Structure 1
Amino acid sequence: MASQDIYDPDFVRDVFDRCSDRYIAFSNACSFGFTQIWRRQCVEMLDLPPEARHGYDLMAGTGEVWPHLLSHSPQVESIVAVDISAGMHRRAMDRLHAMRAHKIEFREDDVLASSLPDESADFVVSTFGLKTFNPDQHRRLAELTARVLKPGGRFAYIEASDPKGWPLRPLYRLHLDQVLPMVERVLLRGAHDFAMIGQYSANFGDAREFSGMLEDAGLNSEFRKFFFGCASGVCGSKPASSKATSQSDYEATTP
């Protein structure tokens, strides 16, 4: 493992292809349902206007944000789901979203290598994909977000994070670093794949630095924390004019 680049796109694809059959159940159970709460909160901070019709779900995984997005913003007509793992998308369509297939277009691709058209999206949303990128990849993702959004378009990202400074952080880290790998070994007989979630999250930290990268790319960006920092996110918009207006960080501790 030490000799492998865990952020290499091929490595990430293989991990999530192997995880795909059990990912939904494992994610919900081991987060005690918080992943679904955080997906809903991500859609709420996306805060789409009535005219928003078309957008991208980047690192779309099993598409669990789609029900929240389409319920909150029923005017949305199409979502292009971009993910490097075809296995995750098959699971999404087989398990959850066959009835929404007419609104979903899937692109099996490395997001950072995708030729998504300039100013083609009213919104960009992403849940729990940031941790699989290193800082250089985060900067490229920020630039891609700015490039594909239409003027006035909105974005929201959310990610499991390391709640530094929280008194219960040691228990949180114990859960990620010890409990999840044990559950995988005993119940799932996995190949260390789900245990990678803890490693990715520890390396990621939180979304504050990514928020700065989005501002550097010309976007208005707000940084937010959820449940004492166990998740963090960014949201904002592309200015209608060419000059971005920087916004101060906004931190909300929301259960």
Structure 2
Amino acid sequence: MAEDIYDPQFVKGVFDRCSDRYIAFSTWCSLGFTERWRRQCVEALPAPEAPAATGYDLMAGTGEVWPHLLKRYPAIAGIVAVDISTGMHQRAMTRLHAHRAHKIAFIEDDVLSSTLPDGGADFVISTFGLKTFNQTQHRKLAALIARCLKPGGSFSLIEASDPKGWWLRPLYLFHLKMVLPMIERFLLKGAQDFAMIGTYSTNFGDASAFARMLEAEGLQVSYRKFFYGCATGVCGRKPTGRMLPPS
């Protein structure tokens, strides 16, 4: 019987095994675009209304979005990072962000099973975690974001996507499906875990369906494309019942 690649324990295994090389692999093999897209995800996040805002980084991985988030909004009081992978969080704290640890708390859990409190977050952000969920899980995630945000709370999520309609799409897909597995096989000698990241990305498609799920939960949503659709994202707010200034 084939394994369910969206089962939480399968996902945890993939990212635990590749955590020690994830930062270098994702940066070099995306030609630096992952870092650019993280910054753009933060730029798309509507400004939190609370000066000392607290919020969630969902599917936080190695926490590479935190420097961008804290640079743009230095008054942020706290970030709760939620991720299922022990290895990814340890990598984040020991290699990148030990000096930011006073602002970071961590929940190691499947985000869809976490008992995050209702209406407690000024913001929700997530970079490159959407691909690890199937459609049913995306609906649960949309409901979770709507439930966790305070009225007026903001959100921004981004994911590598399938750039349908772009004339260089065949080359992009060749890079994901052929080049990345070859790099892993011959240079990293891994267990095809990085190749799974390419599989998740191509299966994902784009964030347009997720945008509609967020709208169905009553959120104000903007859908965006980055670099010809090689990444797509959603951002917006939870309504308050009053008009909010543009961000």
Give the alignment's TM-score, normalised by structure 1.
0.93
Aligned partner of 1:89 in structure 2 is 89
- Percent of residue pairs bearing the same amino acid type: 69
Equivalent runs, 1:129-144 vs 2, <5 Å: 129-144=129-144
State the alpha-carbon separation in 1 of the partners of residues 46 and 234 from structure 2. 12
State the alpha-carbon separation in 1 of the partners of residues 81 and 202 from structure 2. 26
Aligned partner of 2:17 in structure 1 is 18
State the alpha-carbon separation in 2 of the partners of residues 130 and 231 from structure 1. 11
State the alpha-carbon separation in 1 of the partners of residues 188 and 120 from structure 2. 41
Where does structure 2 lack aligned partners over 5 or more consecutive residues? none
Where does structure 1 lack aligned partners over 5 or more consecutive residues? 245-255
1:69 Cα deviation after fit: 0.0
Q: Aligned to 2:233, what secondary structure does the other structure show?
A: strand
1:51 Cα deviation after fit: 2.1
Instruction: Note if 1:235 corresponds to 2:235.
Output: yes
Q: Aligned to 2:156, what secondary structure does the other structure show?
A: strand
CA deviations 1:68-102 (Å, max 9, x no partner) are 00000001010000000010000001110000000
Aligned partner of 1:186 in structure 2 is 186
Q: Aligned to 1:212, what secondary structure does the other structure show?
A: helix
Aligned partner of 2:219 in structure 1 is 219
1:47 Cα deviation after fit: 2.6
State the alpha-carbon separation in 1 of the partners of residues 96 and 82 from structure 2. 17
Report how many residues are paired: 243
Aligned partner of 1:39 in structure 2 is 38
Aligned partner of 1:248 in structure 2 is none
1:50 Cα deviation after fit: 5.6
Equivalent runs, 1:83-232 vs 2, <5 Å: 83-232=83-232
1:198 Cα deviation after fit: 1.3
Q: Is the 8 A contact 1:51 1:75 kept in 2?
A: no
State the alpha-carbon separation in 2 of the partners of residues 214 and 71 from structure 1. 27
Structure of higher RCO (CA pairs closer than 8 Å, 6+ residues apart): 2
1:187 Cα deviation after fit: 0.8
Aligned partner of 1:249 in structure 2 is none
Q: Is the 8 A contact 2:146 2:214 kept in 1?
A: yes
Q: Is the 8 A contact 1:50 1:75 kept in 2?
A: no
State the alpha-carbon separation in 1 of the partners of residues 16 and 74 from structure 2. 30
1:224 Cα deviation after fit: 0.3
CA deviations 1:142-175 (Å, max 9, x no partner) are 0000000000000000000000000000000000
RMSD between superposed Cα atoms in Å: 1.4
Q: Aligned to 2:82, what secondary structure does the other structure show?
A: strand
State the alpha-carbon separation in 1 of the partners of residues 213 and 62 from structure 2. 27
Q: Is the 8 A contact 1:222 1:234 kept in 2?
A: yes
